[in-house]
Amino acid sequence: MDRRRAMCSVLALAVGAEADVLQAADPFPSKPVKIIVPFPAGSITDVYARRTAHHLAPALGQPVIVENRPGASGTIGVALGAKAKPDGYTITLATSSNLAIAPAVGMSLGFDPVHDLQPVTALVRTPMVLVVQPSLNVRKLAELVALAKARPGQLAYASGGAANTPHIAAEVLRHVAGIDLLHVPYNTGRITAAMLGNEVQLGFDWPVTAIAHVRSGRFRALLITGPRRVPLLPDVPTASEAGYPELEIYGWAGYLVPKGTPRRIVVRLNTELVKALRSTQIKAALEQEGGELGGDSPEAFAAFIRAEQAKFARIVQTTGIRLDQ
């Protein structure tokens, strides 16, 4: 019996040594790495990915290729990333719309956000700006709410489509303030154009597109939906400061790999991605666009995603938001 145990121990050591040799012979990465972006080229998410790839490639010693796979609110690209081989060579840049909002509204995903993906690190968290037409003559959220109550159903807001983040924020405002607003959905990116064309009176927009128009006086900003004020709009209060903490709703994006990717590879990718995100170029660009830089641990990002999934599930249940609105 002792001889058998000894033989088993020797065999186990040999197998372990062989695994170490194989790992050393095939260090990660030994070929190009791909980042799947589930949105079109030129989108803000695509821009973020390409900035990251520029800094990540020299750190990994391999080319980092950005592949755009848009469609179905980004779920097509995320599904491709989730089903990729779990070897670290396919990274997916997913967003709150793919991982938290889509499952909350019952969208068919083609992947399980919890069981098919391993978070690596958050990229950015971006609040929205509630903007109104100056012709409304309101300067505070309380004044907008009073005007909407006096004119039920007459004030229209723009969104990039049903169940996207600006739509959800407006529906939360409608619900918590007890007001009746008219929803006018547009294609993604058309919120600013609709406001500039006086087609609608208000909307939740992203700082990167809204700030210039707020500064020029063509829009008036009433609040920021993040937990902190945006440095580029220091006089605009947060949702909590305006008396509506329920409006603390923001878009976010982060990097994930297929579940089952070896821990050592996840750690390596996290280390290099965090370094890339903290580069002067990326950090300055994110701040200039009103975003809050990510760069956390895989565990912290996973906990954040779970919390956001629970939050959006509660919002959808409370407000009754549907895909066909």
Predicted confidence pLDDT, tens digits, the chain (325 residues): 455 554 445 444 444 444 444 444 468 999 999 999 999 998 888 988 999 999 999 999 999 999 999 988 889 999 999 999 999 999 999 999 999 999 999 988 989 999 999 999 999 999 999 999 999 999 999 999 999 999 999 999 999 888 889 999 999 999 999 999 999 998 766 788 889 999 999 999 988 889 999 999 999 999 999 999 988 899 999 999 999 999 999 999 999 999 999 999 999 999 999 999 998 888 888 877 788 889 999 999 999 999 999 999 999 999 999 876 6
Domain with CATH 3.40.190.10 in the chain: 129-247
**Total-model pTM:** 0.86
Q: Which helix (H) or strand (E) holds 236?
A: none
Q: Name the CATH superfamily for 28-125+252-319.
A: Bordetella uptake gene, domain 1 (3.40.190.150)
Indicate the burial class of 85 (C-beta count within 10 angstroms; 0-12, 13-18, 19 or more): exposed
Q: Name the CATH superfamily for 129-247.
A: Periplasmic binding protein-like II (3.40.190.10)
261's tokens:
């990717």
How crowded is residue 52: how many other Cβ atoms within 10 Å of its Cβ? 23
- Distance CA(273)–CA(35), nearest Å, equals 12
pLDDT at 25 (0 to 100): 47
**Phi, psi torsion values for 179, nearest 5 degrees:** -120, 160
pLDDT at 190 (0 to 100): 78
- Distance CA(29)–CA(268), nearest Å, equals 10
Domain with CATH 3.40.190.150 in the chain: 28-125+252-319
pLDDT at 4 (0 to 100): 52
pLDDT at 175 (0 to 100): 96
pLDDT at 79 (0 to 100): 96
